[in-house]
Amino acid sequence: MVGRNYGQCSIRDDCNLKFMDLKAKRTFRFIIYKIEEKQKQVMVEKLGEPAETYDDFAACLPADECRYVVFDFDFMTAENVTGYCKSEEQDDLCKLKGQVQERA
């Protein structure tokens, strides 16, 4: 089922539905999206089960091809509380923290 069309490439409806499942229900640990060249559309390539790890996720990524990904990670706060990004503000902070750690 084809969803929205963005110029030369469309995005399948299930891409957004799976993202909403991950965001609201934490149904998946990660989602890997790819562009299907023949049909010129973004599609879900892989859904990671909640028990899968970052290493499992990384092993699914091809070394020589582009992918778009979402990864739902747990973290420990300074107060020793396990959590995950629950709000847009926290989500932005988590993204920023990840970028800073990558640069270190």
pLDDT, average across residues 30-50: 93
What tens digit of pLDDT does each residue of 42-99 get?
Answer: 999 999 999 999 899 999 999 899 899 999 887 777 777 666 555 444 555 454 444 4
Topology of the domain covering 1-72 = Severin (3.40.20)
Residue with tokens 């963005």: 6
Residue 97 confidence (pLDDT):
46
pLDDT band at residue 37 using 50, 70 and 90 as cut-offs: confident
pTM value is 0.69
- Ordered by start, the domain boundaries in the chain are 1-72, 73-104
